[in-house]
A and B are shown apart, each in its own frame.
Chain A
Amino acid sequence: MIGHVSLKYAVRSLLRNPRRTILSIIGVGIGSGIAVFAMSWIGGAREMEIRAVAESGCGHLRIVPADWPDRRENTLRLENPTKAIAAVDALAGVRAYGVRARVNGLLAMGNRTAGVEIAGVVPELEAGASRIVQKATIEGRYLTREDTDAVVIGRTLAKRLGVEVDDSLFVTLVGRDEIQSAMLNVVGILETGSRDVDAMVCHVTLDELERVSGFPGPAEISILLDDYRRVDAGWAALAEAVPQGDAVITWKEVNPAFAASIEGDAGFGRLLIGIIVIVVALGIASAQLTVVLERRTELAILSALGMKGRQVVILLAIESFVIGLAGGVTGMLLGGAGAYYLATIGIDIEAIMGDEVAVGDIMLDPHVYGAFGWWIVWFAFGISVVATLAASLYPARMATRIEPARALRK
């Protein structure tokens, strides 16, 4: 019966002070909303980095010859490309994939030469799988499936060789059995704006590479997923489907250096989130504490009227829980709205900076899309409820120990 009383009293007490209740709820809501937004931002920053690595040709997942992770030689080729491609087609959540092989070679025009890693690609897949091809401006055109003797090179490479669209390059490469050479017609010159990238791009069709070099078939299938968080699930599914002789690896293994850097950033991000959560929680707690402290008189009266200490505690707990819940809902809505904005429109740092950013052969797209998902719910509620409860319980216990008379005199 006393418990019943507590609940009734709690609700009535909350309703009796609408301004205080509403302000509390709003305060809690804003606090947890901010925390949600911060979390979304950090998640977005991480997603941006992973996306940069994946979209620059690395892919989220990759099917490679079983030996490749150790040997890293571009002479290795897939054992079973048909089965591998079939497995990728059967996988859910695949946004695009690229099929490639590479060979070291030398391009020459007259006296000028340039050493490159020639990439044989499947043209109609490549545009979807590589941001480099997507975002670059191209003079001439990109490769098509039917092309023979065609090559697309980067602007810096073209300058070094002194060639333009429609010129013929003499190519020598280390083929499977012997050194091979061929003439390639420059059908397109690609310009990404990054000198490094533009010095490395040299694409021919996969068929062409096979024809000239003698190495059969592709060496890698790079897969871009819709959702980077599904990498592990995708890996498991593919690993089952891909036969022995070929292996499935994630972007982390393709590029451990970047993986380490991204993990480092993620770690720093978690540290920052921790700080925000603490600040928000303490902020909420201190606000609630003030409220509770001001009610000591009221609580003392209750105590004088016969309410036991335990019941007062329960009373306060219920009140704060309700505020915490309502605050959590508010926070979820506010923070969720912010996160939604971040997730859909995002913040375009490129607009502030003015240009694409490329390092090595990774093209960064400086546009942050926040993280958005069910985590918002428990995150918002978690902070709100924990902070408000903690704030109320401690002083509540203290409050109940004071002599009613003393309290009344204050």
Chain B
Amino acid sequence: MRLSTLQIAYRNLGRNKRRTLLALSAIALGQFTLVFVNAMMAGSFETMIKTVTGPLIGHVQVHHRAWREERAVDLYIDNVAESQRAIEALPGVTAVSTRTYAPVLAASGETGNAPADAEPAVVVGLNVANEARTGGLLGPLPEENLPGAHGVALGKALAIRLGLERGDQIAIIAQDADGFPTSDLFEVRAVVDSTVDIVKTMGILMSAADAGELLAMPDKAHELIIQGEDYREADILTAEVAALPELQANEVISWREAMPEIVRMMDMKNWVDVIFLAIVFVAAAAGVANTSLMSTFERTKEFGMLLAMGTNPGRIVRMVLIESVTLGLIGVMAGSILGLTAVFITSQTGLDYSAFSGIEAEDISFAGVSFSYIIYPHLEARHVTFGIVAVVITSVLASLWPAVLAARLEPVEAMHS
């Protein structure tokens, strides 16, 4: 009974369970590593971008043309309500927030004997409803702690410098949009430990209405922050917003234009990661190749016997080929499933690597935004397919070489090796 090469191949695999299992494991491990580490890096990068395009910056920004250069209070956007409606009508826009900024002096409003020292601070007038959720500048805050009706939220570092807590009074002295002095007393409703550096060190967050009244610019704003569905589409969204007739007098920029330095730094970090990923790939491939190679070399005697029995050398090579492709595919499947599972689980729970770093994971902020020690791995299809192709090819090539070598030998030589 002549067995087809295929059947022989399968039987070989079944007969040497341990060897098969080992080779499978090596392949599965390689694929698992590639999938998981790729997802980890991608997740880490995603988090970084989301933090950057998060509360402070958004995906698209609108300003008075001269505002970014001069930052003067009187450089505001005129037709805010109109513009906001027009922008919200665009498809792909998930949120539009208004912001008002004014540098002010702040001091404790509590009664005391000596006059309190004033500290420089920044009033940020915002849309409380929009910002009081995860991802907003205020973060999720309970209802009674929200700014509004003469209540404000203070950045934590500012609150400490002024010696204020929730429930205290804060005096704010400012110059309004017309250049005239204005002052008022506000109640501190909340102290926020914001991820945004400037908010934490100098920020006084108040409702847009309060800010408008204090600064004599009711229904006006310095900035419109627009959030879309995907930060990668920001440039398209920017063009759409810029085309709106209501916004012709204003400047419309994407987050990349707003923060070019952060973008460059992120690019650099990305490259550092890519190079590391290359190293990971080589490590995984080396493991797979090593195992396949050794495994096939150990079978030289077996091949010798087959040759001695009259098997066609080409057939031996084909047999090994089928075996390793089969192994490769099964192994890659196993590795992919394991990898996907691991990614799925960690993307829900997050991967906390603070244990690996030396210091307290408390007050981390870098260039204005804070980073956390938790990664949420993020998988893309190409991570898996790349592994499938790469790992299978590696294992096939690594087993072909010894097979070809063996097939060329004299049977006696082969049996004796």
Interface membership of A403, Cβ < 8 A: no
* Interface residues in B207-264 (C-beta closer than 8 Å to A): 261-262, 264
In the complex, which residue of chain A has the Cβ closest to the Cβ of B366?
A261
A290 near B279: Cβ-Cβ < 8 Å = no
Query: B144-152, B176-184, B356-364, B380-388: which one contacts chain A?
Result: B356-364
Q: Which residues of A contact B358 (CB under 8 A)?
A: 263, 266-267
Q: Which residues of B contact A194 (CB under 8 A)?
A: 261
Q: Which of A27, A261, A268, A288 contacts B353 (CB 8 A)?
A: A268
A283 near B261: Cβ-Cβ < 8 Å = no
B283 near A34: Cβ-Cβ < 8 Å = yes
Which secondary structure characterizes the binding site on chain A?
Answer: helix
Q: How far is the CB of A77 from chain B (nearest CB, A)?
A: 22
Q: How far is the CB of A346 from chain B (nearest CB, A)?
A: 11
Interface size class of A (residues with CB under 8 A): 35 or more
A290 near B286: Cβ-Cβ < 8 Å = no
Q: A266-B358, A357-B264 are in contact. Are A294 and B283 (CB under 8 A)?
A: no
Q: Which residues of B contact A280 (CB under 8 A)?
A: 283, 286-287
Q: Which residues of A contact B357 (CB under 8 A)?
A: 263-264, 266-268, 270
Interface membership of A125, Cβ < 8 A: no
Query: A36-44, A79-87, A147-155: which one contacts chain B?
Result: A36-44
How many A-B pairs have beta carbons closer than 8 Å: the answer is 185
* Interface residues in A183-229 (C-beta closer than 8 Å to B): 194-196
Q: Which residues of A contact B294 (CB under 8 A)?
A: 20, 23-24, 27, 287-288, 290-291
Q: A293-B22, A352-B271 are in contact. Are A276 and B279 (CB under 8 A)?
A: yes
Binary contact track B346-382/A, C-beta < 8 Å → 1, others 0: 0000000111111101111111100101010000000
Q: Which residues of A contact B359 (CB under 8 A)?
A: 259-260, 263
Which secondary structure characterizes the binding site on chain B?
Answer: helix
Binary contact track A251-269/B, C-beta < 8 Å → 1, others 0: 0000011111101101110
* Interface residues in B162-203 (C-beta closer than 8 Å to A): 197
* Interface residues in A1-34 (C-beta closer than 8 Å to B): 17, 19-20, 23-24, 27, 30-31, 34
Q: How far is the CA of A357 from the CA of B272 in the complex (A)?
A: 14
Q: Which residues of B contact A268 (CB under 8 A)?
A: 44, 353, 356-357, 375
In the complex, which residue of chain A has the Cβ closest to the Cβ of B282?
A34
Q: How far is the CA of A195 from the CA of B299 in the complex (A)?
A: 66
Q: How far is the CB of B104 from chain A (nearest CB, A)?
A: 16
Q: How far is the CB of A75 from chain B (nearest CB, A)?
A: 15
In the complex, which residue of chain B has the Cβ closest to the Cβ of A256?
B363
Q: Which residues of B contact A24 (CB under 8 A)?
A: 294
B291 near A286: Cβ-Cβ < 8 Å = yes
Query: A58-66, A127-135, A172-180, A359-367: which one contacts chain B?
Result: A359-367
In the complex, which residue of chain A has the Cβ closest to the Cβ of B301?
A294
Q: Which of A260, A271, A353 contacts B267 (CB 8 A)?
A: A353
Q: Which residues of A contact B93 (CB under 8 A)?
A: none
Q: Which residues of A contact B288 (CB under 8 A)?
A: 283
A267 near B29: Cβ-Cβ < 8 Å = no
Q: How far is the CA of A259 from the CA of B371 in the complex (A)?
A: 12
Interface membership of A337, Cβ < 8 A: no
Q: How far is the CB of A106 from chain B (nearest CB, A)?
A: 15
A357 near B265: Cβ-Cβ < 8 Å = yes
- Greatest chain B CB density within 10 A among A42, A266, A276 is at A276
Q: How far is the CA of A45 from the CA of B393 in the complex (A)?
A: 31
Q: Which of B26, B283, B293, B353 contacts A23 (CB 8 A)?
A: B293
Interface membership of A282, Cβ < 8 A: yes
A286 near B267: Cβ-Cβ < 8 Å = no
B279 near A38: Cβ-Cβ < 8 Å = yes
Q: How far is the CB of A54 from chain B (nearest CB, A)?
A: 16
In the complex, which residue of chain A has the Cβ closest to the Cβ of B364?
A260
Interface membership of B2, Cβ < 8 A: no
Closest 3 CB pairs of A and B: A283-B287, A267-B357, A294-B298
Q: Can you list 18 A-B contacts (CB < 8 A)?
A: A27-B294, A41-B275, A257-B363, A258-B366, A260-B362, A261-B365, A266-B356, A267-B353, A276-B279, A279-B280, A286-B26, A290-B294, A290-B298, A347-B275, A357-B264, A357-B267, A360-B367, A366-B271
